[in-house]
Chains A and B, each alone.
Chain A
Amino acid sequence: MLKSLILILMGGVLINNYVLNQFLGICPFLGVSKKVNQASGMGLAVIFVMLFATAATWPIYNYVLVPLKIEYFQTIVFILVIATLVQFVEIILKRFIPSLHASLGIYLPLITTNCAVLGVTINNITAGYNFLESMVSSLGVGLGFLLAMLLFAGVRSKLDDSNAPKCFRGLPVTLIAASIVAMAFYGFAGIVENLLA
């Protein structure tokens, strides 16, 4: 039981890294990775929202949509739940924990339509995880997102000093750097099975 949970967690962080392997959440990955502190703020906000979103969508799917036999409404319901939830979390944070709102709040509106959040909730349902496994999987995916953001922010701070050809400046050279970081993540494939074998 514990072993399978660790496998799900590590799989989300390293092997099936949403950004570098599954290409989900590329917009914030490329947009908000210019500075390390921004990248970590965004990463933490994503973990936060992913956990909340999973905690909300899993029961809704299994206790509302399945009994009513309207599973095909999954996409519409999930995106609405996530959008409402983000607004809700923002209001609550602003009211009760202003310090956390000050550090994470600005990232929250950006996350509403982040495909990684919708992706992880749908993937949890498709994989047939139970509630605990879904939460662990979301945590893993969120941590993987944070890790990728931090690593890439580090790489990217060096890019500003590089003397790239004119047509490569800006986005192209950033994408090529992302490609090299993704290649490094390839090394993690297989590490998890061996870790627990």
Chain B
Amino acid sequence: MKNNKLSILLRGIIAENPVLILILGTCPTLAVTGNVTSALSMGLAATVVLICSNVVISALRKVIPDTVRVPCYIVIIAAFVTAVQMLLQAFLPSIYEMLGVYLALIVVNCVILGRAEMFARKNTVLDSAFDGLGMGLGFILALFLMAFIREVFGAGSFMGIELGFMQKFKIPVLAAAPGGFLVYGILIAVMNKLTEKKGGVKKKSFSCEGCPSAAICTSKPCLNNEKKEEVENA
């Protein structure tokens, strides 16, 4: 049993890393990884919201009617995001300023709604808490990796501290907006290469499967689904 919990935890970190394998939560991933400090604070804030919302959604999974579950999830998540926002504003105003609008946008972060939809609504409270923790750690790890590459090679600093020897070799575009897309693309390619050798992990293509709208889309022909292609081909 304990082994099972551990595997749920570890799965989120590597095999089903939300950012690099499941391709969820692309917006914050790209937006806050310009420097390590904001990436870590974003990762922590999202993890707190993810664990809390997973626990509550899983606890209420028998109460919430299936047809209105997405709005219910959004309200629960928005409540926790507001709580995190207020805590940060009160105790860490500098981080609150730095994350700006992206903090409020945790509400529509695909990782959180995606996990509610894929995991929390089908599993027990404890399992969901572990899943939230694992996914959160995977999210932090991926954000840290991207921010590390972008800040060290792009700005020649680490958590705001200048690295003297990097100043000559820095590539400023990496820390700017285009660098976000570039580093993310290359990291996914590296992950593809690594998992391909192991031959194990089944990769998901970019589709609305994990997107928060997926649940609403399933009733209609969703453009990213194979369903739509079938409709078009028919």
Q: Which residues of B contact A180 (CB under 8 A)?
A: 178
Our pick among A23, A73, A168, A176 for the contact of B30 (Cβ within 8 Å) is: A23
Within 8 A of A (CB), among B1-44: 23, 26-28, 30-31
> Could you give, for residues 114-136 of chain A, a 1 whenever the CB lies within 8 Å of some chain B CB and a 0 otherwise?
11001100110010000000000
Is B180's CB within 8 Å of the partner chain A? yes
Check: A112 CB closer than 8 A to any chain B CB. Answer: yes
In-complex Cβ contact of A110 among B101, B105, B193, B208 (8 A):
B208
Q: Which residue from chain B places its CB closest to the CB of A20 in the assembled complex? A: B177
Does B78 interact with chain A (Cβ within 8 Å)? yes
B143 within 8 A of A: no
Would B31 and A79 count as touching, CB distance under 8 A?
Answer: no
Q: B63 to chain A: closest CB distance in Å?
A: 19
What's the dominant secondary structure at chain A's contact region? helix
CA distance A126 to B100 in the complex (A): 9
Q: Binary interface profile of A, 76-93, with partner B (CB < 8 Å = 1, else 0)?
A: 100110010000000000
Q: Which residues from chain A sit less than 8 Å from chain B, CB to CB?
A: 20-27, 30-32, 38, 42, 72-76, 79-80, 83, 106-107, 109-115, 118-119, 122-123, 126, 165-168, 170-176, 178-180, 182-183, 185-186
Please give the residue numbers on chain B whose beta carbons come within 8 Å of chain A beta carbons, in ascending order.
23, 26-28, 30-31, 71, 74-75, 78-79, 81-82, 85-86, 100-101, 104-105, 107-110, 113, 173, 176-182, 184-186, 188-190, 192-193, 196, 205-208, 211-213, 216-217, 220-224
